[in-house]
Amino acid sequence: MKAKNVALSIIALLVLMSVAPQDDTSKKLIGTWKWANVINSETNEEMGIDMVTMGMASEVKTEFKTGGSYVESKLRTGATEYSTTNGEWKLEGVDVLNMKPKDKWRPSKILKFTKDSLIIQMSPKMNLLLVKQK
């Protein structure tokens, strides 16, 4: 009986430890992140966000909210007001950020994540640097 309780305690502890990192990552992600730069992963050359927006937006921000929703705001080139898109987000473990702007989940590998910066892999050759806004 005592061995069974010890075994159950160890299993419970392992389960709790495996959940904690994702919870910490989720908490760090909550807030508004400005798209700072796109980086060519092969050359480490900074390309600017024009590569992603095709020159259509001068600024992009993503606000991750609790409950798994997000709002992406784009300031179109020449405009004075932001356009917004709503979507859902979720983490797969601690290294994949899934975002669903419409009907399909889009996974992005998290390459680096600190309290004030996030680098995600948008495609095999393109990484996005996001900076947390205060």
Q: Tell me: pLDDT of 114 over 70.
A: yes
Q: For residues 87, 92, 94 and 96, what is the CA-based torsion angle, rounded to 10 degrees?
A: -70
Residue 2, CA distances (Å) to 5, 7, 8, 108, 126 in order: 5, 9, 10, 45, 54
CATH number at residue 91: 2.40.128.280
Q: Is residue 118 within 8 Å of 106, Cβ to Cβ?
A: no
pLDDT tens per residue across span 8-49: 445 544 444 444 455 788 999 999 999 999 999 999 999 888
The set of residues, in sequence order, having a beta carbon less than 8 Å from that of 37 and lying 6+ positions away, is: 46, 47, 48, 49, 128, 129
Model confidence, pTM: 0.79
Number of domains observed in the structure of the chain: 1
Residue 58's domain comprises 2-132
Calculate what percentage of the chain has a pLDDT beyond 70: 84
Tens-digit pLDDT profile for residues 43-70: 999 988 887 888 899 999 999 999 999 9
